[in-house]
Amino acid sequence: MPLRILYVIPYFAPAWAYGGSVRAGVEITRRLAAAGHIVTVVTTDARDASSRAGAEVERVDGLTVHRFRNISNELAWRRAFLPVELPGAFARLVRLHDVVHLHDVRTTLNAAAWPTLRRGRVPYVLSARGGMPAELGRTAAKRVWDALLGRRLVDGAARLHAQTELERAHYRAFGVADARIVVIPNGIDAAIADAPADPVAFRSRHGIDADRPVVGFLGRLHPVKGPDVLLEAFARLPASLAGASLLFAGPDDGCRDALSARAAALGIADRVVFTGQLDGLGERASALRAADVIVLPSRSENQPASLLEALLVGTPSIVTDACGLAAELGDRVRVVPSEDPDRLAAGIGAALADRASLAGDETSNADARRSLVERFRWDRSIAALVETYRTCVSEAPRCAS
């Protein structure tokens, strides 16, 4: 029997600038709909720093998408989503569904949902998407939110969805019992391995010589992603790598001006490239293949799609121990301590000096890609989500009061 699923997320296609959560949300909902379930998405009109997606109700890819207008797009880009018409509509929408899936912990969409969800008649699953730790910026505000609503929101969830074992640990630290946590990773889009890519043309478009070593970063330029740590590490590379370029590929999310100023102060501005948002699978594949090594210098990272994509196209990668996949993929990547530019510089230097060894031969790379695709299959993740939803629905009568 098909489930009626209400999927609540602050940003949805075409809000690609908000990062991997948008792409994951689109994949999950489309695949749920393709499996025969009735899926309604509740989101806002957020698109990027300067434009909106448009407030409307539309039917696309088998989904019904309700976009509610934010009071301010500028505030939305700062993660203060204020869709004023949502609270009145939410109670009606919830009654039409069997289960609700909330994304992120500290959002006004969740606050709007809470008065209806607290009644316990419709169960909900909560996905923190790596956002559980309060120490990742705006700590005081997060602690106030948790005291007012966050704790009750977590306690009221039928299940807490983690993408990695690291995120399971984050839930445990918040006091959640293991029995209420399900670990279901996102799948990966294996198509990027065969996507049309032209790394030479990509380099040329961004003023990077074909023979230069390139250190790549794919993602939002946000403090939690650690681009500042990578910049400091890049400046500490040995003189033998003075010709290398640093490629920041992704939308500005509050760091670009500071990074540019710091690069100038370090005397390396002419070797640092900013591409802005990359659109399309081919452009992402070109960027990944244009780099000699991909670095994720995150202060906290759950399940980064860019890491899995880099491994699929065969680009050597470095992550910090704050990445949720570091323990799972430690045999495939170099792992360095978070917020340690010296250790990161050493890792980058070693990777660039030994690129052939780090990349491996074609046969072993093909085997590793097949293993990776099998490990992160979308169909398996969707089946696990559906099973979780059905469990929540079956338990709801016992939980309702």
Rounded average pLDDT per 10-residue block, the chain, 401 residues: 96 93 95 98 95 90 95 93 89 94 93 90 94 80 88 95 94 95 94 92 95 95 96 96 96 95 97 94 95 96 92 93 88 92 96 68 69 91 98 75 37
In three-state secondary structure terms, 36 is coil
* pLDDT reported for residue 397: 64
Residue 160 phi, psi dihedral angles, 5° rounding: -110, 125
Instruction: Sort 389 into a burial class: Cβ within 10 Å, 0-12 / 13-18 / 19+.
Output: buried
Q: What is the predicted pLDDT for the residue at 400?
A: 40
pLDDT of residue 140: 87
Q: How far apart are CA 29 and CA 13, in angstroms?
A: 11
CB 43 within 8 A of CB 65: yes
The residue extents of the domains of the chain are: 4-187+377-399, 190-375
Q: Determine the Cα–Cα distance for residues 66 and 69; give it in Å rounded to an integer.
A: 10
**What is the model's pLDDT at position 111?**
92
Q: 4-187+377-399 with 190-375: one CATH topology?
A: yes
Yes or no: say if 266 and 237 are a contact pair by the CB < 8 Å rule: no
> In this predicted structure, what is the pLDDT of residue 335?
95
CATH superfamily of 190-375: Glycogen Phosphorylase B; (3.40.50.2000)
Prediction pTM value:
0.89
Confidence at residue 166, expressed as pLDDT on a 0 to 100 scale: 92
State residue 392's pLDDT score. 96
| CA distances from residue 266 to 94, 259, 380 in whole angstroms, order as listed | 54, 10, 47
> Which run of H or E residues covers position 274?
strand 272-276
Distance CA 310, CA 192 (A): 9
> CATH number of the domain at 4-187+377-399, out of 2.60.120.370, 3.10.20.340, 3.40.50.2000, 2.60.40.1840?
3.40.50.2000
Instruction: Give backbone dihedrals phi and psi of 129, rounded to 5 degrees, phi first.
Output: 55, 45
Helix (H) or strand (E) holding 149: none
